[in-house]
Chain A
Amino acid sequence: MKNLKLKAARAASDMSQDELAKAVGVSRQTINAVEKGDYNPSVNLCISICKTLNKTLDELFWEN
């Protein structure tokens, strides 16, 4: 399932996929895969992304 909340949060922070990837220490393709729903990130990666985008885990990774 696509993670549109992540995509929206990234856009709201005015960050490209590449910039977010560099900030959390992964490849751009991994961020792309997470947003497309092709890859389930580990909890550590989820936390890194949340800290970078200043969001909580629920806000970005919990299903409504």
Chain B
Amino acid sequence: MEYTMTIVWLLAIIFGIAIALLAIKSLNKDKKVRTKYDERQLKIRGDAFKYGFFATLITNGIIMALAASNLDAFLGMNAYFIPIFIGVVTQMTYSVFKDSYFGINNNSKGYLAFMAFIGLLNFAIAIFSTIEGELITDGVLQSSFLNYLCGGLFLILAIELRIKNIIDKKA
């Protein structure tokens, strides 16, 4: 069926969102889905999203400029996700170092444990794909590279939170 992969992707996205919402609801201190931020955090998160937006645009521009080169052909469909990854990392980094990543009602330790699990799961899938020779096919990076990006995202978050913790203790 020609729409099979599209349906599979849509179901995977819906399933992922459902799992995320369930996790957020169970991990928040007030058992609500919505994360609460105070006024300072909201302002900083607004700035963080702005910087993330521009980082996404710039990265997208760079990839478009590479459109005629072999690198663009190598990236395949991952070219769509790398700018999003850069934007998310930018927003996340700014929020973490300005104490605005976790909200007032977040159970930060629970979140970290959940994110560690998701990150490790993604790395496991990515490494398995690499071992099976499915990472690069016909000279094109395959979608299993996204698992490296997801795992990398959570690894970056863990490192940033650790650095922030060290900075706060020294202050």
Closest A-B pairs by Cβ, 10 of them: A26-B38, A29-B99, A30-B40, A39-B40, A30-B38, A27-B38, A27-B104, A42-B39, A33-B40, A45-B39
Question: Does B143 count as interface, using CB distance less than 8 angstroms?
Answer: no
- Binary flags per residue of A17-60, CB closer than 8 Å to B gives 1, else 0: 00000000111011001000001011001000000000000000
Query: Smallest distance from the beta carbon of B169 to chain A beta carbons, Å?
Result: 14
Those of B16-64 within 8 Å (CB) of chain A: 38-41
Q: Name the A residues within 8 Å of B99 (CB-CB).
A: 27, 29
Chain A residues within an 8 Å CB radius of B39: 26, 30, 41-42, 45
Chain A residues with CB under 8 Å of chain B are 25-27, 29-30, 33, 39, 41-42, 45
Chain B: interface residue total (CB-CB under 8 A): 6
Q: List 23 A-B contacts (CB under 8 A).
A: A25-B38, A25-B104, A26-B38, A26-B39, A26-B40, A26-B104, A27-B38, A27-B40, A27-B41, A27-B99, A27-B104, A29-B40, A29-B99, A30-B38, A30-B39, A30-B40, A30-B41, A33-B40, A39-B40, A41-B39, A41-B40, A42-B39, A45-B39
Closest chain A CB from B43 CB (angstroms): 9
How far, in Å, is B62 (CB) from chain A's closest CB? 34
Question: In angstroms, how far is the closest chain B Cβ from the Cβ of A18?
Answer: 11
B99 closest partner in A (C-beta): A29
